[in-house]
Amino acid sequence: MGNSQVNLRDQHAVVTGASRGVGAALAREFAAEGARVTLLARSQAAIDELAREIGGHAISADLAEPGELPATVKQIEHQGGPIDVLVNNAALGHVAEFINQSPESVTAHVHTNLLAPMQLCKVVLPGMLDRGHGSLVTISSLSSEISIRNMSSYVATKAGLTAFTLNLQRELRRAPIHTMLVVLGEVDTDMVAEGRNDPVLATIADRIGSMGSMTPEHVAHKVVIGYRSGRSTLVLPPTARPLFELRQLPNRIFDVVTRNIP
């Protein structure tokens, strides 16, 4: 499915972390493309309101409790039908020196940002394969390619998520499943606003400010354009693509070495 056009009309798309920020913008953009959207987040009121606005469904769930995910997916499919598109967008990004981060916060980052997306893929993939189609969209971060002080848990989980998605793409290369990795630079959302309270991150942000911050709406629009053209990787802003490609060099070499393995 690598380069084919991917149509969202009448597709059932689940967007995690859809109560605000990038996820809410993605949900609106997917709905504008004709998708039936299910919104997932913890903030019931926010997703209920957005579901009313776009004519979708809302399911309140805590992704930090991955044991609940099979039941949550069952509930989603009961309400909206089989899932055609899963957008793993939800994430937690608390800023603190690792030594000062509570063990509970570390666990919450790993569960929400890495384990939940992996488990959700695990739950929805068999049905997608049976039906002969499906899409998995992963929202990751450029921070997975660099080391940032005071963001150890976030960066580690995003690096894991990027690695997981790139591996899955290779395993599914002959399957009728479209996988898309979205690697984002700075987006103007609550996550970034909270991060700016940290002096180290505020200084970093001032120094790289010239790269610019994107709006969630711009990101969502570009994701849908990339999705419709069947892209497997999208790096935003495009000026960051060389950094990502540089980091992918060992993978590209390994792909050549391991080509033609059935």
- Is 184 a binding residue for ligand NAP by CB under 6 A? The answer is yes
**Residue 90 lies near ligand NAP (rule: CB under 6 A):** yes
Q: Output 122 or 196, the one with its CB closest to ligand NAP.
A: 196
Using alpha carbons only, give the angle 187, 191, 192 rounded to the nearest 5 degrees: 55
Q: Where are the beta strands (DSSP E) in the chain?
A: 12-16, 36-41, 57-60, 85-88, 134-141, 177-184, 233-236
Question: Per-residue x/- marks for ligand NAP, 94-123, CB under 6 A?
Answer: ------------------x-----------
The CB-of-97 to ligand NAP minimum distance in angstroms stands at 20
Q: What are phi and psi of 211, to 5 degrees?
A: -70, -20
Site for ligand NAP in 190-219 (CB under 6 A): 190-192
Asked if 226 touches ligand NAP (CB under 6 A), the answer is no
Burial track 212-250 (b if 16+ CB lie within 10 A, e otherwise): eebebbebbbbbbebbeeebbbbbbbeebeeebeeeeee
Told to check if 51 binds ligand NAP by CB under 6 A, we report no
User: Does the active-site annotation cover 154?
Assistant: yes
- 181 lies in the site for ligand NAP, by CB under 6 A: no
**43 forms part of the interface with ligand NAP (CB under 6 A):** yes
Q: Of the candidates 82, 43, 83, which has an alpha carbon nearest to the alpha carbon of residue 63?
A: 43
Catalytic residue among 8, 17, 19, 154: 154
Question: If binding means CB under 6 A, how many residues of this protein chain bind ligand NAP?
Answer: 27
**Distance of closest approach, residue 176 Cβ to ligand NAP, in angstroms:** 26
Place of tokens 């660099």: 146
Nearest Cα to 218, choosing from 9, 24, 25, 16?
A: 25
- Residue 63 lies near ligand NAP (rule: CB under 6 A): yes
The least distance separating ligand NAP from the CB of residue 186, rounded to whole angstroms, comes to 4
Token pair listed for 229: 């053209």
Compute the distance between CA of residue 213 and CA of residue 119 in angstroms, rounded to an integer.
31
Q: Which residues bind ligand NAP (CB under 6 A)?
A: 17-23, 41-43, 62-64, 89-92, 112, 139, 141, 184, 186-187, 189-192
Catalytic positions, written as ranges:
154
